[in-house]
């Protein structure tokens, strides 16, 4: 079972659900008022398109940017499976600023989370990620704030506190109680 550490941007996802909803409403309206087979076919296409877009967006909505599971930090910065980073290789989470990655150049600055990985973890360097979501260079993973929950000091404190707690739990021998 995964533990979500950094959510996606639910506000942006909620706004993006307008397009599938419009497709569904328009398709439903055409279906109800349709007199011929061509109109019903067009309505069916709109209804199907709206449903597929809606389901796809809900799946994206539920996908976090960072999660933890069984000793690994799961990094969701691509459309396929997450990258799995051993939690021992994660040093800390830092506040950063970088380009938003939005259309029209995407040069406007936005807050970001920087995940610092251990220098010695050479096998974790440079991964291909979706450029709008972030970048992974050397031993740093940058997660753009545009596509995640709001980034502030309390978020970074929560991430670092959870990282410390997980590392302590993992370093304890089985069966021993925490102090």
Statement to judge: residues 57 and 23 lie in one domain = yes
Same domain, 160 and 112: yes
pLDDT for residue 104: 59
Q: What is the mean pLDDT of each run of 10 residues along the chain (179 residues)?
A: 87 71 83 80 85 75 88 91 95 87 65 93 89 90 89 95 95 67
pLDDT at 12: 65
The answer as to whether 143 is a domain residue is yes
pTM of the model: 0.74
Query: In 3D, which of 120, 144, 123 has the Cα closest to residue 65?
Result: 144
Q: What's residue 25's pLDDT?
A: 85
The range of the structural domain enclosing residue 14 comes to: 8-62
> Do 159 and 111 share a domain, yes or no?
yes
Residue 153 and residue 116 share a domain: yes
Determine the Cα angle at 10 with ends 7 and 14, to 5°: 160
93 with 58, same domain?
Answer: no
Question: Tokens standing for 86?
Answer: 């051993």
Q: Are residues 92 and 139 in the same domain?
A: yes
Do 58 and 130 sit in the same domain of this protein?
Answer: no
Q: Are residues 42 and 93 in the same domain?
A: no
Helices (H), the chain: 10-16, 18-33, 37-62, 153-171
C-alpha 23/C-alpha 18 separation (Å) is: 9
Question: Are 43 and 115 in a shared domain?
Answer: no
pLDDT of res. 152: 92
Query: Do 57 and 101 sit in the same domain of this protein?
Result: no
Name residue 68's beta-bridge partners: 3, 73
Looking at residue 116, the DSSP 8-state letter turns out to be E
What pLDDT does 10 receive? 66
Q: Does some domain include residue 76?
A: no
Domain count, the chain: 2
Q: Which of 166, 159, 76, 67 is nearest to 113 (CA)?
A: 159
The answer to the question of residue 70 being in a domain is: no
pLDDT of residue 169: 92
The pLDDT, as a whole number, for residue 69 is 96
Report yes or no on 78 lying in a domain: no
Do both 120 and 166 map to the same domain?
A: yes
Residues 110 and 50 occupy one common structural domain? no
Q: Exposed/middle/buried for 149, CB within 10 Å: 0-12, 13-18, 19+?
A: middle
- pLDDT at res. 3: 95
């Amino acid at each position: 079972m995964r533990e979500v550490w950094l959510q996606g941007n639910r506000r942006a996802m909620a706004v993006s659900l307008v397009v599938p909803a419009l497709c569904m409403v328009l398709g439903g309206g055409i279906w109800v008022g349709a007199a011929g087979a061509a109109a019903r076919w067009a309505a069916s296409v709109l209804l199907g398109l709206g449903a597929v877009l809606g389901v796809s967006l809900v799946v994206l909505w539920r996908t976090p940017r960072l999660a933890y599971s069984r000793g690994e930090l799961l990094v969701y910065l691509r459309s396929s499976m997450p990258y799995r980073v051993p939690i021992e290789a994660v040093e800390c989470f830092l506040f950063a600023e970088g380009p938003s990655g939005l259309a029209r150049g995407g040069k406007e600055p936005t807050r970001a989370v920087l995940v610092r990985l251990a220098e010695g973890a050479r096998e974790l360097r440079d991964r291909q990620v979706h450029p709008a979501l972030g970048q992974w260079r050397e031993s740093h993973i940058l997660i753009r704030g545009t596509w995640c929950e709001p980034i502030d000091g309390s978020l970074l404190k929560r991430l670092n506190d959870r990282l410390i707690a997980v590392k302590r739990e993992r370093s304890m021998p089985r069966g021993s109680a925490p102090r």
